[in-house]
Every structure is written in C-alpha cells, then in structure tokens.
C-alpha cells in the first residue's frame, strides 16, 4: 500500500526527470531539435536586455 502510494506520487510529480528525450541523443547539442530553442531563447534575452536599456 505504502509503495503504491509513493509510486503514484512520483508518477504525478512535475519535477520527475523525463522518461524519454524528445529528440534522439546522438544529435548532440547542435542537433536540429536544439537549434530553434536556442535561437528563441537568445531572441527573448535580447528583447529583455533592450527593454531594460530604455
């Protein structure tokens, strides 16, 4: 009973590590799935920096 409740808790927990990665591991950091995310992040950071400067 106790182990079952703990298992259910870990299944519902938002902080658990993902069971599978969305992109294949062999693509590495420069993979096609990683590029757009980095570009978007850089764009957001640039917009924030520009907003702070004004």
pLDDT tens for 16-42 read 555 655 555 555 555 566 677 788 888
Whether the CB-CB separation of 17 and 23 falls below 8 Å is answered with no
Residues 6+ apart with CB under 8 A from 23: 31, 32, 33, 34
Q: How far apart are CA 7 and CA 1, in angstroms?
A: 10
Name the band, by pLDDT with cuts 50, 70 and 90, for residue 1: low
φ, ψ for residue 48 (rounded to 5)? -65, -45
Answer yes or no: pTM beyond 0.75: no
């Amino acid at each position: 009973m106790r182990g079952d409740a703990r298992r259910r808790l870990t299944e519902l927990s938002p902080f658990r590590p993902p069971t599978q990665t969305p992109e294949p591991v062999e693509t590495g950091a420069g993979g096609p799935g990683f590029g757009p995310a980095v570009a978007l992040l850089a764009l957001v950071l640039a917009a924030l920096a520009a907003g702070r400067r004004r």
